[in-house]
Amino acid sequence: MICQECNQRPATLHFTNYSNGEKSELHLCEQCAQEKGELFMMNNGPAFSINSLLAGLLNMEPAFEQKKETFKMDQVSQCPQCSMTFPQFVKIGRFGCATCYDAFREQLTPIVRRLQSGNETHNGKIPKRIGGDLHLRKTLDHLKQILKHQISEEEFEQAAGTRDQIRELERKLSASQEGGE
């Protein structure tokens, strides 16, 4: 893929923006990304980094700007553990310690909503269409371990019940794989 800015070099950085349900993509080479970095990433340094990306996202957040107005300068949040302030976090792009998440929870909520497409919680990184099968496989593996233990302990009646559960899960798994193909 060629850089959309210079139309000469290969694009190595790919930006995707979801806004109002619409997806827009931007494909840039490293040189063009560094040149445009100050415009859309608000990156003051010459190098591109994940910290700069996060700091840029924080600075572009309209909800953050609204929150900024409600917090007076004398009310600057500070982490009780590491003494980092929220403006320092915005500039650096990463927290100083785990306590910062609790200390800056109120300011982070609109940012997390923006990054998670309106959600405040992270529901996992496995797509729903294959997540069900994965859950069945994990349950199946767990039941097989239980079955081995029951057989080694000579708990044959319980092992028979576990065997039946395994067979039922295997049927469900094969049915979902046949239906998905």
Domain ranges of the chain: 1-48, 62-123, 128-180
The string of DSSP codes covering 67-127 is HHHHS-GGG--B-TTT--BHHHHHHHSS-SSTTHHHHTHHHHHHHHHHHTTT-SS---SS-
CA–CA gap between residue 15 and residue 29 (Å, rounded): 11
| Tens digit of pLDDT at every position of the chain (181 positions) | 898 889 999 988 887 877 777 888 888 888 887 776 544 444 334 444 555 565 666 554 444 444 444 444 446 678 998 988 888 888 887 888 988 888 888 888 887 777 777 777 666 666 666 566 777 888 899 999 999 999 999 999 999 999 999 999 899 888 877 765 4
DSSP state, residue 2: B
Q: Which fold has domain 1-48?
A: Wheat Germ Agglutinin (Isolectin 2); domain 1 (3.30.60)
Instruction: Report residue 80 as tokens.
Output: 């009780």
